[in-house]
Amino acid sequence: MVLLDKHKFGLALPLLAEVTFNQMFACDVAAQKIEGFIYADNGESPTSFYIVHPYGMSLLLGNTENAEFNLQLSTYLLNKDQLREKTEWLQVFPERWNTKLNDLLGKNLLTRKHKEEGKPYWDHVRVEEQTRVNFKFNPGKFAAFISSHPPRNLEIRRTGEMEFQNMPGTVVPKFFWKNAPQFVEQGIGFTLHINNEPASTAFSAYIDTRLLEFGIETAPLFRGKGFAKETCIALINYCLNNGYEPVWACRLENIGSYLLAQQLGFEPVRYLPFYKVNR
């Protein structure tokens, strides 16, 4: 694995175009809309890529049969060289990478099958297989939900630089955009305020000319009050009024996000292996 120079990040774009699930975060890195990094099997004509977004999302794609790359990939995933400073959440394409990871990691990988069989969480497990869900937005279901959802008298306004800097949490704009001016100019979000304090936000984690992927966060003090639902409604309405298709993806294990998506008219369409790569 070699660390690609930024001016070569675009070499990953043709393979990214072949990915059949939501990979907008990796496209942002490859297009240098956000500060991430890309490893490859070589720096001139790579066929295997490992793309890392600063939030911690990563995507492994391309040729599965490069022995030297795979050996170094195993070292990286197991953090033998202490290169990784935080946990990553890994997706792979094509699907045969799932079998390859099982071979490479062996007992260091806790698979869904192991969990279903009641296998213990061994001390040496470094990678845990979970499930990521991709949703498809159904405008009719959203309209039906809105017709039965009484409006609430809440202060929701467009997310600006103040909210960018001050919204607490981990799934917030400052972890998905380079800086506040870039977000205000190129992105969109709506933040609910309680006593002028940002309490909940829904924002464009990734956006292109037709797709807008949701990021949602509610400050701990204000959780359990349905505020995330209200900010998401504002962002969905923005999408519908401006020609964007709302995009939602989350871990199946994140029950709150999984159920909220369906309330708002999103339908689960794909369930994919999703690897928690522990630090």
- The tens digit of pLDDT for each residue in 168-219 reads 999 999 999 999 999 999 999 999 999 999 999 999 999 999 999 999 999 9
CATH number, span 2-125: 3.40.630
φ and ψ of 227, to 5 deg: -70, -35
Tokens of 92: 């792979």
User: What pLDDT is stored for residue 233 in this prediction?
Assistant: 98
**Taking all residues of the chain, what is their mean pLDDT, rounded to a whole number?**
94
Q: Cβ distance 61 to 49 under 8 Å? A: yes
The fold of the 134-271 domain, in CATH, is Aminopeptidase (3.40.630)
Tokens of 18: 């072949």
pLDDT at 252 > cutoff 60? yes
pLDDT band for position 121 (50/70/90)?
A: low
pLDDT at 1 > cutoff 60? yes
Common-topology check for domains 2-125 and 134-271: yes
Alpha-carbon distances of 279 from 27, 234, 246, rounded to whole Å: 24, 36, 32
> What is the C-alpha R_g of the chain?
20
User: What pLDDT is stored for residue 119 in this prediction?
Assistant: 63
Question: Other CB atoms closer than 10 Å to residue 104's CB: what's the count?
Answer: 18
Q: Which residue has the tokens 């202490």?
A: 82
Tokens of 213: 């992927």
The residues spanned by each domain of the chain are 2-125, 134-271
Provide mean pLDDT across the span 116-140.
83
pLDDT at 274 > cutoff 70? yes
* 10-58 pLDDT tens trace: 999 999 999 999 999 999 999 999 999 999 999 999 999 999 999 999 9
Provide mean pLDDT across the span 264-271.
98
Angle at 261 between CA 259 and CA 263, to 5 degrees: 70
Of the candidates 62, 58, 36, 37, which has an alpha carbon nearest to the alpha carbon of residue 49?
A: 62
